[in-house]
Chains A and B, each alone.
Chain A
Amino acid sequence: MASQETMPSLPGATAPESVWSGGVSPYAVVPKKLGMWLFIVSDAITFASLILAYSYIRVASVNWPRPFDLWPSIINANVMTVVLLTSSITVVMAVRASKMGRRGTTARWLMATIAGGVLFDILHIHEWLGLIGEGVRLFSNPWGTPMFGASFFALTGLHMLHVTIGVFYLGVIAWGFQRSKFTADDVEISGLYWHFVDLVWMFLFPLVYLMSAKTAWF
Chain B
Amino acid sequence: MQATLVHGHPEPKRIFLIVWVWLLALTGTETLLAYQHVALEVMLIALMTLSIVKASLIIAYFMHLRFERRSLVLTLMPAVVFVIAMLFVVFPDSLRLLRMRPH
Contacts and interface: CB of A to CB of B under 8 A. Distances in A.
A137 interface: no
A14 interface: no
Given A44-B80, A52-B88, A59-B98, A215 B35 contact: yes
A86 B88 CA distance: 31
A172 interface: no
A60 B98 contact: yes
Chain B interface, >50% SS class: helix
Contact of B62 (A28, A48, A60, A198): A198
Contacts of A55: 44, 91, 94
B51 A203 contact: yes
Contact of B54 (A58, A62, A92, A202): A202
Chain A interface, >50% SS class: helix
Given A27-B75, A195-B63, A213-B34, A203 B87 contact: no
Contacts of B37: 215, 217
Nearest to B2: A28
A28 B76 contact: no
A45 B83 contact: yes
A56 B27 contact: no
Interface of A: 19, 26-30, 34, 37, 41, 44-45, 48-49, 52, 55-60, 62, 70, 74, 78, 81-82, 85-86, 88-89, 91-93, 95-96, 99-100, 184-185, 188, 191-192, 195-196, 198-199, 202-203, 205-207, 210-211, 213, 215, 217
